[in-house]
Structure 1
Amino acid sequence: MELFNNYSTAWLLGLALALLATGVVAGILAGLLGVGGGIVIVPVLYHLFTLLGVDESVRMHVTVGTSLATIIPTSIMSSRAHRKRGSLDMALLKKLMPSVVVGVLVGSVLSGFLSGQVLTAVFAVMALLVAINMAFKRDGFSLGDGLPGPVGTSLIGGAIGGISTLMGIGGGTLSVPILNAFRTPMHTAVGTGATLGMVISLPGALGFLINGLGVPNLPPASVGYVNLLGMALIVPATMVTTAWGARLAHAIDARRLRQVFALFLTLTSLRMFYGLLS
């Protein structure tokens, strides 16, 4: 295929193996920590594309767009599983979904105008906040009994949708701790967050795909800002290894593991800030 003519066989093989490894790492950590795959996939893909020399002007856009695309099938499966177990609160979902969709649309439009540096900064800031929450969250912390009124709920949903889209994550990383802080039971927060991931990832990925059409310097096998090779290799690996991570979680100190992952996110955030400032 002409698409691959400008790349050596060794480069393409390295890309394929690295993407497969990304899926393995993302799946295991997602299963171990109960976090969405996007919060793992984005930093790993970012470092991978940096090592492989993907042009800086498109690097973060392809990272975010590909991450959102990989979340689509896994969020659909996760949402169905949680619904069968009764951990999906439809009333809560109906309250949040309209504003989440609006947030996704706003994030998708903004992504076409924002530079890679801005997207990197958004992820770096939010990853640092997530790391702090994971490392120092106190049991029993609460912002209130139930979500606030319509205006407050709309602001929360819009923020979850918009920020998640710009970060390339499915939303569970933000929605689960937020819902839990408003005294939503953890199982319900996780199940509802999984469904929000589906609501976010599909239009979000489509937005990045459209915004990237015709853009130069994309890595091979990319349609817009979505790398199809990355999606094809990451999704199966993630789906298989998430179960491995879930089994490992029973043999490992979860609190210590979350602290280690928080350190990983902190280092990733600092690395991104360093790249922006250097």
Structure 2
Amino acid sequence: MSLLDGRLVLELLLLGSIGGFLAGLLGIGGGMILVPFTSWILAGRGVEPGLALKMAIATSMAMILFTSISSVRAHHRRGTVRWDLVRGLAPGIVGGGLLAGAGVFAMLRGQALGLVFGLFVALSATQMLLDRKPAPTRQMPGPGGRAAAGGVIGFVSGLVGAGGAFISVPFMTWCNVPIHNAVATSAALGLPIALANVSGYLIGGRGLDNPVPGSLGYLWLPGVALLASASVLCAPLGARMAYRMNVGQLRRAFALLLYGIAAHMLWKAVRG
């Protein structure tokens, strides 16, 4: 089966451009846009829907290896990345990501993954839209709490192929980290999330009978290359735009985007 044609190349480049822009703007790694659309593209070309979703999740996560670097450089130049938080959360992220990618991901059916994706995205959107103010004295937890939080972020990210911002941004703002710092720090967390989960997908996908040309287990390598090349160019544009918007606009944009994606994935999962 040949999946790469001129139309597909254009679709992936456009999708990668949108995902990269949103990665810079909202710190979401682009995964929550890329997963449903990449899954739809693969399924429309004859890939079994459950496998298409798993490949879309793995491909999206692999792409974050490239987009997170581009996005975080733009945020770092503005001095908004909290590297102390990155260091505290990263060990748990690596452990949780390996557990998800190397074990649980391979065992779950595509429909179950779709439900997990939709429910967690909807929950995150609600948290952002309600904008509940944390207690003035609430701060980020200590080393043990940060490692545990990182484990949850890495594990759930591995199941849905996203950069973790749908958990890490609400978590950090709940702990009184300003929204722009939370978004920038989340972008920096995308790299350890992607490294751990991609390693897990390669381990979990060993021996997979995959009919898609150019795939390595769950990873669709041509898709990664096209999506990443467009995303890396557009991520800095989104990061610059983030600093021209006020906090309220950024929060509402994030929440509305997540609601739309959650509704789409839940509808598809319920339909089976």
Same fold, TM-score > 0.5, yes or no: yes
Q: Does 1:133 align with 2:127?
A: yes
What is the one-letter code of the residue matched to 1:7?
S
Tell me the equivalent position of 1:120: 114
- With 47-56 and 227-236 compared, the bigger mean Cα shift is at 47-56
Tell me the equivalent position of 1:3: none
Contact 1:30 1:40 in 2 (8 A): no
For residues 267-278 of structure 1, the aligned pairs below 5 Å read: 267-278=260-271
CA displacement at 1:54 relative to structure 2: 1.8
Change in CA separation of 1:41 and 1:144 when aligned onto 2, cut-off 3 Å? farther
CA displacement at 1:178 relative to structure 2: 0.8
**3-state SS in 2 of match to 1:112:** helix
Tell me the equivalent position of 2:178: 185
Structure 2 counterpart of 1:94, from 87, 90, 104: 87
Change in CA separation of 1:125 and 1:94 when aligned onto 2, cut-off 3 Å? same
State the Cα deviation string for residues 24-72 of structure 1 (Å, max 9, x = none): 2212333444533112212222232233332123111101110111000
**3-state SS in 1 of match to 2:209:** coil
CA displacement at 1:107 relative to structure 2: 1.1
**3-state SS in 1 of match to 2:47:** coil
State the Cα deviation string for residues 76-122 of structure 1 (Å, max 9, x = none): 23334444543333432332222222111211121122221222111
Tell me the equivalent position of 1:48: 41
What is the one-letter code of the residue matched to 1:133?
Q
Contact 1:33 1:257 in 2 (8 A): yes
CA displacement at 1:189 relative to structure 2: 2.5
For residues 157-172 of structure 1, the aligned pairs below 5 Å read: 157-172=150-165
State the Cα deviation string for residues 98-152 of structure 1 (Å, max 9, x = none): 22221112111211222212221111111111222343324x4458521234543
For residues 1-278 of structure 1, the aligned pairs below 5 Å read: 6-7=1-2, 12-108=5-101, 109-138=103-132, 140-142=133-135, 145-246=138-239, 255=248, 259=252, 262-278=255-271
CA distance in 2, matches of 1:68, 1:195: 14
Contact 2:114 2:268 in 1 (8 A): no
Point out where structure 1 has 5 or more consecutive residues left out of the alignment: 1-5
Could you say which structure has the larger radius of gyration? Answer: 1
What is the one-letter code of the residue matched to 2:100?
G
What is the one-letter code of the residue matched to 2:185?
T
TM-score, structure 1 normalization = 0.83
Point out where structure 2 has 5 or more consecutive residues left out of the alignment: none
What is the one-letter code of the residue matched to 1:235?
A
- With 188-197 and 98-107 compared, the bigger mean Cα shift is at 188-197
CA distance in 2, matches of 1:265, 1:54: 26
**3-state SS in 1 of match to 2:46:** coil
**3-state SS in 1 of match to 2:107:** coil
Contact 2:57 2:160 in 1 (8 A): yes
Contact 2:205 2:218 in 1 (8 A): yes
Percent identity of equivalent pairs: 37
Contact 2:70 2:236 in 1 (8 A): no
**3-state SS in 1 of match to 2:5:** helix
Contact 2:93 2:151 in 1 (8 A): yes
What is the number of equivalent residue pairs in this alignment?
Answer: 270
CA displacement at 1:205 relative to structure 2: 1.3
State the Cα deviation string for residues 152-204 of structure 1 (Å, max 9, x = none): 33331211110111111122332122112101233432333222211110121
CA distance in 1, matches of 2:163, 2:194: 6
CA distance in 2, matches of 1:155, 1:265: 24
What is the one-letter code of the residue matched to 1:23?
G
